[in-house]
Amino acid sequence: MTLPPPYQDHNGERGSFTLLAAGAFVGLLGFLALVIDVGNLLVTRRQLQNVADTVAAAGSRELGRVYTELGDIDPGRHPLTTWEKARINLVVEEFARLNEVAGHAVSVAPGDVAFGRWDSASRTFTATDVGATGLRVAMRYDSSADGAIGTFLGSVTGADKFKVSAAAGTEIGPVGKLPAGKMDLPVAISEAWFAGKESACSGDTEIKLYSTEEEESCSAWHTYRWWPAYTPLLRFLLVEFERERLLSPKVEAGRTAFRFIHGSVESALPDIEALYDARKDEEGEWEVHIPVYASADCESPEGPRTIVGIATAVVTEVRSTGEDKEVRAKIVCDVVDYGHGSAPNFGTYLAIPRLVG
């Protein structure tokens, strides 16, 4: 005779499975909430960083406009006034209000904007109002600024909000690349002329680009990248520039090499004077950009030389007749809104900012 199986109670196992399923479901919800919170944090931080980059670039762009309007001053030595800083802060605040982070408007407090100089090598920032060529903007998304971001895990962990911060640094630096047509006087200055100067436009800024005297002028005439580098070609270029039938080539510091004329260019002085007369203003001044070539001395170079930077000069006089034939100029500091890149500082700055930190 077959006996029936003993009675088994499965209610306890069913209860254990229910508890395990409930625990797993809660854990899954917690994990999903964590993923959402972390994703929200990363997106918010990226948005805030983008806004910081934007407002810092806008601030440095306005800084460049300030220097441009001031004229021939050295940005590396100018003390920013209270009004100039307020003007730049206003632009920063306006650009911040045009952006949103996590669906909310953001703002920048005046204390979160610092003016100063960036060291590109060490990527460090020195706050100063004197010679400020850049700025640093710190932005926060917390209870002290624009509010904090809520979390899904807040009810579990007690941290119902998280704080987000970002910082950006921008600067206007020496221009390193000029487009075609921005360098119509085929003369260059040795970098030795700038050695020991506190600033490119400080101290004695007078320079003779040509002189019949025995003294070295620390400058040399060239034919850009065209060959052969001799006086007849120089005269041809001067005539074409004067008649506006030719553009000077683009130049990039550290990469471009110009061909220099070794010997006298006296026969080209009438052509230089004609170009000067065509370009000078009512005060008899012609502002030109001049390349700076690599050299440890002021001796006249021959053949190709690398261009290491860009300076700005104002030609004040050209004498092609008489005993004292000469081309006189003075080096000035300038801020331009065209060009690219960076180079050693020879007093010509690019008003278009770049991100540095």
* Weakest-pLDDT range from 24-38, 64-78, 82-96: 24-38
pLDDT in tens, 263-282: 889 999 999 999 999 999 99
Residue 207 has pLDDT above 60, yes or no: yes
Helix (H, G, I), strand (E, B) or coil at 90: helix
Cis omega (within 30 of 0) for bond into 228: yes
What phi and psi, each to the nearest 5 degrees, are found at residue 297?
A: -145, -175
What is the rounded average pLDDT for all residues in the chain? 85
Query: What confidence tier does 111 reach under pLDDT thresholds 50, 70, 90?
Result: confident
Stronger pLDDT, 6 or 39, i.e. the higher one: 39
Residue 68 has pLDDT above 70, yes or no: yes
- State the greatest distance between any 2 C-alpha atoms of the chain, in Å, as a whole number: 143
Residue 344 has pLDDT above 60, yes or no: yes
Cα distance between residue 153 and residue 34, in whole Å:
7
- pLDDT given at position 342: 82
- Which helix (H) or strand (E) element contains residue 155? helix 154-157
- pLDDT given at position 122: 79
User: Percentage of the chain with pLDDT > 90?
Assistant: 57
Cα distance between residue 169 and residue 59, in whole Å:
10
8-state DSSP, 264? -
What is the average pLDDT across 140-166? 60
pLDDT in tens, 28-48: 555 565 565 566 677 788 888
pLDDT in tens, 190-200: 999 999 888 88
Cα distance between residue 294 and residue 227, in whole Å:
20
Q: Which two tokens stand for residue 284?
A: 């008899």
Cα Rg of the chain (Å, integer): 32
pLDDT in tens, 123-137: 899 999 999 999 999
Residue 174 has pLDDT above 70, yes or no: yes
Residue 25 has pLDDT above 60, yes or no: no
Enter the pTM of the model. 0.80
Domain boundaries, given as residue ranges, for the chain: 21-171, 177-355
